[in-house]
């Protein structure tokens, strides 16, 4: 028995461990406080120099977070270049979206990073409330003082200015404004090689889609002629609903906010989908599949069409060509009601969707540095850097136009152009006015997609980034919770044929009982206030 | 009277209490000190105001949960899923432990044990992916059904097949891991009892029912009490990964419902209120189970 | 010894058969992951039907995982938490289980109730976070050790086992002048090796797999345990499918195999733990210990 235990050898480590605990706990404490102080000491005098020029003096260091879950990314050449040019170093602390628990712990701990990229527009109760509760700074005066580039941009572009402030004129973040091409990134994708083989054109209307899908089923023996995840079905994109003049969620019809699921046409759209499902044209499993299954079906010949993101075209072509060198996935236009017409809906984001916009925490010790660092992106050089990377490394100017170097176009290590640019630029999801970088992609089909998906009337229906009041926002969310579930369930039940499309009226009534009309009232009021900004 | 008894007890068992001190300290520091936070179930929690500084809203969150049109559905789904999972999933590892124990070859036993416990380590994301893949209308399961002349079904879209899929995959993933505790219990049984029984001419089955099972009983009862005290908790993450609106009818449980609400408004008071509701029911069931176990089998938590 | 009857042999045969089926069913998913991790991404994406062999052969997934600069640090941090954590876990749990399994201790039942109560009623994440922060554990590996210094579930399991130890053993030790400490560590624990092995497994696997506390308490990347490192690698690859607005980089074919390589890299080491502990699950441990 003695071999199991010896009093002295066990008790000592235990005591040691406990004392070690105290020691380490103490250490980590003092460490963090001394760290904070070192951040503070950088220049604290608030006088604006008559003419400020980058790099900023004083070796300021700022903490930074964004909204992508994950750890601290590697330091890229773009980060070093940014530091060199602005004179401000950034300590990246990883990220968290607002919906994650980590976000509220950050709020609770009172330790927000100096610069926080997030979707502040979605803050419960609106961005005004985040300012009022003391987490982030109201930026109006600070922009006047330290952010000449953003200020000029807003003066030159009143439409942007209108989007990024709240109803009472508060600026709460440095916005990420998408370029026109960046606002579209999803739509129908179809196998062109199958169409060619079947002597069919790319379908443009619902009827043509029906013909094509039927041909895929009968002649190409596709088990699921078209497959997609439910989020593409009128929710994130107009999908096939756009041809019926509707889509899901809130949008605007002639100055009036409507909730697509309540519209009469929605029932007709569901009836058609239900018919397609019954005929075996839509993937039998579509309501329960994940992205990986869609990938498999698309790249193995099980399906010939889908609705998805732009980069899927690249992915499917690469994967399917492994086994079938002829495979050719291209973007198809959103279907319209009649040939030559435009569908009412496709996929289109507001230029300012609220995402990746930088707020400055109210606990920041060096407000000026934070603003200077962010403002750089709105300057001419900053914009060039974010779009095309470092001059002489990733591009050269020829006749005033940037031309990519071989490092990008013909990478010696075999990296794709997009992979290279990720290291040297901020292509997307960064507070700036996004410019198109015209980056060559591996498959020309990928680049062509945006132009094809852009052809819709979606613009006229877009609900701008409205800001309901705090009370309205609370009321909205409690109403919409049950309605969201109800509508998705109803939609799938009907398409899957478990219930007839005629029963949709019953669900419309139920949505009304749950207060959808009150929600519409709130949205309408917020929309009208927005127009008056 | 009580004070003197307590004094005497503390004196007599003082070293026992001293040994217990670090444990009590742990529970106080890491469980009881943060427990004040439970009051946010009755508050409109705003992080900047802190838990104590947030405004009282009374039973508002509870009312909002109880008055949802989905209240009864999610309660029913939670309890049914949990109940069937317990009914089938609880005895499964016990049975496997008994069978493993009867294997003659110790190498074979070890290999079986090691392999069956492996699925426990696969992350749920991948498990869910495998389940999806196998239950597709042209997946492996349907291939088998079609082979025997059945009709292909898209299982994960059928409200009726969600519970079986959930429970079977749960057993598949946890059965080997679950046996570990029972194997340990079996190891503790005195071998002399078996030898005595063999001399008395008891066969295998009699040995199992008269020696092995009674020897495992304290462990089984404690595990059962604890499992019953968890009846309102179901594998939230797995459901989120497997369900879709087409099977909300059976798959939407309390935690998934609250999760969806949380995406819209991060209302911590609300989720705390629902959590408290669950805890009270769980704890009540635990007390009942403990009471009956004490009466019937003499095994109890206190 | 009676000779084995016909019925018993039939039972043994069926038993072996059942086990074989179980092995096939539980082994396949592991092989599926292994094969996927060794496949070429593009071919894996387009593969349908049962995966019985890697599709092509590529170690790109492993390269992507292992080239992450934080991964080795992750293993180191996890190992530290595992070893120190286990020492504290086992010490506290045996102390608690010993106390709770004694007879004739007046405050035992209230204390048991006091402990079980915490299984059901917690303050929630926010106050837990704030309290741990106030103890000065933020951004320290001790935040992964002390808040999980013991688990009530495991405490109850050990207590149940201790209660089954015959009274006479303890009484005779007392007569020999042994104190509680001696009885617990020199008699009870050696007698309870099966349950000690179980708890080492439970706690060990718990530490190995945990990432949530690390995610909320640690800021410094150098402190991240392996599971958090790997989770972050996978997340960066997965988010593209939901959001859709990311750059084309997400389409690289490594993404698919990377997930599986990450699982192999992180689970293989902990799977090794089991065979070492398995020897304590043999029959008759207690009898042997008694005789010794």
Of the candidates C116, C164, C281, which has its C-beta nearest B218's C-beta? C164
Best mutation target, B20, B182, B227, to test chain C (most C CBs within 10 A): B20
Same-domain pairing of C107 and C11: no
Structure tokens that stand for A434 in this block: 């996004």
**Cα nearest neighbour of B268 on chain A:** A104
Residue with tokens 């299954």: A293
Nearest Cα of chain A lies from the Cα of B18 at a distance, in angstroms, of 14
Q: What percent of chain C has pLDDT over 70?
A: 88
Nearest Cα of chain B lies from the Cα of C249 at a distance, in angstroms, of 22
CA distance C114 to B76: 31
Nearest Cα of chain B lies from the Cα of A323 at a distance, in angstroms, of 20
Residues 6 or more apart whose Cβ sits within 8 Å of residue C94 = C158, C184, C185, C188, C189
Same-domain pairing of C65 and C110: yes
What are the distances in angstroms from CA A111 to CA A63, A132, A348, C13? 10, 17, 35, 64
**With the C-alpha atoms ordered A43, A48, A49, A54, is the resulting torsion angle positive or negative?**
positive
C140–A14 C-beta distance less than 8 A: no
- The answer, for A122 touching chain B at a CB cutoff of 8 Å, is no
**Cα nearest neighbour of B22 on chain A:** A18
Please, which residues 92-151 of chain B have a Cβ atom closer than 8 Å to chain A?
128-129, 132-133, 136-138
The pLDDT assigned to C204 comes to 93
**Cα nearest neighbour of C219 on chain A:** A93
Same-domain pairing of C31 and C77: no
Q: Give A401's strand partners.
A: A398
CA distance C34 to B206: 43
Domain final residue, candidates C58, C73, C105: C58
Q: Taking residues B276-298, what's their average pLDDT?
A: 91
Instruction: Using pLDDT thresholds of 50, 70 and 90, give the confidence band for residue A15.
Output: very low
**Residues of chain A contacting C223 with CB distance shorter than 8 Å:** none
Same-domain pairing of C5 and C127: no
CA distance C200 to C82: 10
Same-domain pairing of C53 and C70: no
Domain final residue, candidates C58, C80, C106: C58
Tens of pLDDT, residues B189-238 = 888 888 888 888 888 888 899 999 998 999 999 999 999 998 998 888 89
User: Count of H helices and E strands in chain B?
Assistant: 17, 2
The pLDDT assigned to C3 comes to 56
The per-residue pLDDT of chain C, averaged, comes to: 83
State the DSSP string of B187-229: HTS-HHHHHHHHHTT--HHHHIIIIIHHHHHHHHHHHHHHHHT
Nearest Cα of chain B lies from the Cα of A133 at a distance, in angstroms, of 6
Domain final residue, candidates C41, C58, C75: C58
Q: Which domain holds residue C142?
A: 59-291
CA distance C157 to C168: 22
ipTM of the predicted structure? 0.89
Higher pLDDT, B300 or A144: A144
Same-domain pairing of C51 and C74: no
pLDDT higher than threshold 50 for residue C210: yes
Nearest Cα of chain B lies from the Cα of A199 at a distance, in angstroms, of 29
Instruction: Using pLDDT thresholds of 50, 70 and 90, give the confidence band for residue C18.
Output: very high
Q: What percent of chain B has pLDDT over 70?
A: 98
pTM for the whole structure: 0.85
Same-domain pairing of C44 and C67: no
Length in residues, chain A: 533
Instruction: Using pLDDT thresholds of 50, 70 and 90, give the confidence band for residue C242.
Output: low
Same-domain pairing of C147 and C121: yes
Q: Taking residues A128-150, what's their average pLDDT?
A: 93
C156–B222 C-beta distance less than 8 A: yes
**Residues of chain B contacting C19 with CB distance shorter than 8 Å:** 99-100, 103, 108, 112
Please, which residues 113-172 of chain A have a Cβ atom closer than 8 Å to chain C?
none
**Cα nearest neighbour of C231 on chain B:** B123
Q: Is the Cβ–Cβ distance between A298 and A222 less than 8 Å?
A: no
Spell out the domains of chain B, with CATH numbers in brackets: 1-58 (no CATH), 62-297 (1.10.3720.10)
Same-domain pairing of C144 and C283: yes
Same-domain pairing of C134 and C18: no
B261–A481 C-beta distance less than 8 A: yes
C246–A311 C-beta distance less than 8 A: yes
The pLDDT assigned to A439 comes to 81
B136–A134 C-beta distance less than 8 A: no
Tens of pLDDT, residues A144-170 = 999 999 999 999 999 999 999 999 899
CA distance B98 to B89: 15
- The answer, for B154 touching chain A at a CB cutoff of 8 Å, is yes
Phi-psi category of B124—alpha, beta or left, where left has phi over 0 and alpha has psi -120 to 50? alpha
Max Cα-Cα span within chain B? 78
**Residues of chain B contacting A99 with CB distance shorter than 8 Å:** 262-263, 266
Instruction: Using pLDDT thresholds of 50, 70 and 90, give the confidence band for residue A239.
Output: very high
Instruction: Using pLDDT thresholds of 50, 70 and 90, give the confidence band for residue C240.
Output: low
Q: How many domains does chain C have?
A: 2
Same-domain pairing of C190 and C209: yes
- The answer, for A289 touching chain B at a CB cutoff of 8 Å, is yes
CA distance C227 to C74: 8
The pLDDT assigned to A17 comes to 41
Report cis status (omega within 30 of 0) of the bond before A55.
yes
Of the candidates B19, B106, B301, which has its C-beta nearest C112's C-beta? B301
**Residues of chain C contacting A68 with CB distance shorter than 8 Å:** 235-236, 239
Spell out the domains of chain A, with CATH numbers in brackets: 61-180+353-388 (3.40.190.10), 185-347+459-532 (3.40.190.10)
C50–B116 C-beta distance less than 8 A: no
Tens of pLDDT, residues A409-461 = 888 887 778 888 888 999 888 999 999 888 877 788 988 999 999 999 999 99
Best mutation target, B5, B174, B181, to test chain C (most C CBs within 10 A): B181
Instruction: Using pLDDT thresholds of 50, 70 and 90, give the confidence band for residue B264.
Output: low
CATH number assigned to the domain comprising residue C132: 1.10.3720.10
Tens of pLDDT, residues A347-401 = 999 999 999 999 999 999 999 999 999 999 999 999 999 999 999 999 999 988 8
C88–A318 C-beta distance less than 8 A: no
Same-domain pairing of C159 and C269: yes
pLDDT higher than threshold 70 for residue A307: yes
Q: Taking residues A505-524, what's their average pLDDT?
A: 96
Nearest Cα of chain A lies from the Cα of C77 at a distance, in angstroms, of 15
The pLDDT assigned to A12 comes to 40
Best mutation target, B30, B68, B157, to test chain A (most A CBs within 10 A): B157
């Amino acid at each position: 028995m003695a071999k199991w235990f010896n009093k002295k050898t066990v008790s000592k480590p235990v005591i040691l461990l406990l004392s070690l605990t105290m020691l380490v706990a103490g250490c980590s404490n003092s460490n963090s406080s001394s760290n904070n102080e070192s951040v503070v000491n950088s220049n604290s005098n608030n006088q604006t120099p008559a003419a400020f020029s980058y790099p900023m003096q004083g070796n300021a260091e700022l903490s930074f977070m964004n909204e992508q879950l994950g750890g601290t990314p590697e330091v890229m050449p773009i980060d070093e270049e940014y530091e060199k040019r602005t004179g401000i170093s950034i300590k990246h602390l990883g990220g968290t979206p607002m919906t994650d628990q980590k976000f509220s712990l950050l709020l609770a701990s009172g330790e927000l990073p100096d610069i926080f990229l997030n979707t502040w527009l979605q803050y419960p109760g609106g961005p005004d409330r985040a300012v009022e509760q003391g987490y982030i700074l109201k930026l109006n005066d600070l922009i006047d003082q330290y952010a000449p580039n953003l200020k000029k941009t807003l003066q030159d572009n009143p439409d942007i200015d209108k989007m990024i402030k709240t109803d009472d004129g508060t600026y709460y973040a440095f916005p990420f404004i998408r370029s026109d091409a960046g606002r579209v990134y999803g739509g129908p994708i179809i196998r062109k090689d199958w169409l060619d083989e079947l002597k069919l054109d790319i379908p443009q209307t619902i009827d043509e889609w029906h013909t094509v899908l039927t041909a895929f089923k009968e002649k190409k023996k596709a088990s699921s002629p078209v497959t997609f995840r439910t989020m593409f079905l009128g929710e994130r994109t107009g999908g096939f609903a756009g041809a019926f003049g509707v889509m899901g969620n809130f949008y605007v019809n002639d100055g009036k906010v409507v909730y697509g699921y309540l519209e009469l046409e929605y029932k007709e759209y569901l009836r058609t989908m239900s018919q397609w499902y019954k005929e075996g044209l839509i993937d039998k499993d579509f309501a329960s599949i994940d992205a990986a299954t869609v990938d498999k079906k698309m790249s193995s010949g099980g399906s010939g069409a889908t609705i998805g993101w732009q980069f899927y075209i690249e992915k499917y072509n690469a994967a399917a060509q492994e086994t079938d060198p002829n495979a050719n996935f291209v973007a198809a236009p959103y279907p319209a009601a009649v040939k030559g017409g435009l569908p009412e809906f496709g996929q289109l984001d507001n230029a300012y969707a609220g995402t990746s916009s930088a707020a400055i925490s109210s606990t920041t010790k060096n407000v000026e540095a934070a603003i200077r660092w962010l403002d750089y992106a709105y300057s001419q050089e900053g914009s060039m850097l974010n779009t095309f990377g470092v001059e002489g490394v990733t591009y050269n100017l020829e006749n005033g136009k940037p031309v990519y170097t071989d490092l990008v176009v013909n990478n010696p290590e075999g990296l794709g152009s997009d992979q290279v640019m990720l290291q040297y630029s901020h292509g997307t999801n960064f507070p700036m006015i996004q410019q198109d970088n015209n980056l060559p992609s591996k498959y020309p089909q990928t680049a062509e997609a945006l132009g094809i998906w852009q052809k819709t009337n979606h613009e006229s229906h877009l609900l701008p980034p409205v800001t309901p009041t705090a009370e309205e926002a609370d009321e909205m969310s409690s109403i919409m919770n049950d309605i969201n579930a109800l509508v998705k369930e109803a939609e799938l039940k009907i398409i899957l044929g478990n219930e007839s499309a005629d029963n949709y009226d019953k669900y419309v009534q139920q949505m009304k009982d749950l207060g959808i009309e009150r929600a519409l009232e709130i949205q309408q009021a917020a929309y009208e206030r927005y127009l008056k900004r | 009277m009580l004070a003197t008894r307590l004094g005497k007890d503390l004196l007599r068992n003082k070293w026992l209490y001293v040994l217990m001190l670090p444990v009590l300290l742990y529970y106080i520091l890491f469980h009881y000190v943060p427990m004040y936070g439970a009051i946010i179930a009755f508050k409109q929690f705003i992080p900047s105001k802190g838990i104590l500084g947030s405004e009282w809203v009374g039973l508002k969150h509870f009312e909002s949960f109880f008055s949802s049109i989905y209240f009864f559905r999610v309660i029913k789904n939670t309890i049914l899923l949990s109940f069937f999972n317990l009914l089938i999933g609880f005895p499964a590892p016990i049975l496997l432990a008994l069978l493993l124990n009867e294997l003659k070859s110790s190498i074979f036993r070890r290999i079986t044990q090691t392999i069956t416990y492996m699925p426990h380590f696969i992350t749920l994301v991948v498990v869910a992916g495998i389940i999806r893949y196998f239950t597709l209308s042209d997946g492996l399961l349907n291939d088998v059904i079609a082979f025997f002349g059945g009709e292909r079904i898209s299982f994960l879209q059928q409200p009726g097949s969600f519970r079986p899929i959930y429970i079977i995959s749960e057993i598949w993933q946890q059965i080997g891991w679950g046996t570990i505790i029972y194997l340990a219990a079996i190891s503790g049984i005195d071998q002399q009892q078996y030898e005595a029984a063999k001399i008395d001419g008891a066969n295998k089955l009699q040995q199992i029912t008269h020696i092995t099972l009674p020897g495992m009983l304290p462990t089984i009862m404690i595990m059962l009490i604890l499992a019953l005290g968890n009846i309102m908790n179901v594998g939230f993450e797995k459901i989120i990964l497997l369900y879709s609106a087409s099977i909300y009818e059976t798959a939407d449980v309390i935690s998934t419902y609250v999760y969806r609400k949380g995406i819209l408004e991060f209302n911590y008071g609300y989720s705390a209120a629902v959590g408290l509701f669950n805890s009270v029911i769980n704890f009540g069931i635990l007390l009942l189970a403990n009471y009956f176990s004490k009466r019937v089998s003499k095994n109890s938590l206190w | 010894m009676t000779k084995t009857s016909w019925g018993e042999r039939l039972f043994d045969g069926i038993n072996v058969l059942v086990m074989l089926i179980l092995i096939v069913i539980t082994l396949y998913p592991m092989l599926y992951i292994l094969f996927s991790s060794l496949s070429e991404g593009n071919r894996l994406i387009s593969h349908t039907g049962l995966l019985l062999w890697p599709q092509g052969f590529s170690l790109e997934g492993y390269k992507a995982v292992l080239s992450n600069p934080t991964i080795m640090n992750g293993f180191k941090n996890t190992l530290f938490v595992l070893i120190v954590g286990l020492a504290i876990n086992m010490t506290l749990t045996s102390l608690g289980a010993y106390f709770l399994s004694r007879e004739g201790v007046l405050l035992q039942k209230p204390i048991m109730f006091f402990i079980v109560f915490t299984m059901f009623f917690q303050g929630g994440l926010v106050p837990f976070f704030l309290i741990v922060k106030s103890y000065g554990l933020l951004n320290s590996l001790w935040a992964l050790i002390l808040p999980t210094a013991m688990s009530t579930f495991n405490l109850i399991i050990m207590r149940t086992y201790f209660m089954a130890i015959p009274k006479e053993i303890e009484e005779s030790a007392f007569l020999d002048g042994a104190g509680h400490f001696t009885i617990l560590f020199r008699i009870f624990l050696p007698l309870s090796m099966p349950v000690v092995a179980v708890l080492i497994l439970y706690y060990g696997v718990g530490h190995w797999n945990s990432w949530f506390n690390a995610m909320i308490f640690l800021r410094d990347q150098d402190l991240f345990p392996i599971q958090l490192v790997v989770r972050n690698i996978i997340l960066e690859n997965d988010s593209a499918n939901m959001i859709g607005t990311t750059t084309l980089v997400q389409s690289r074919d490594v993404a698919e195999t990377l997930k599986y390589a990450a699982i192999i890299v992180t689970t293989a080491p902990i799977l090794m733990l089991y065979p070492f502990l398995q020897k304590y699950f043999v029959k008759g441990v207690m009898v042997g210990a008694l005789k010794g």
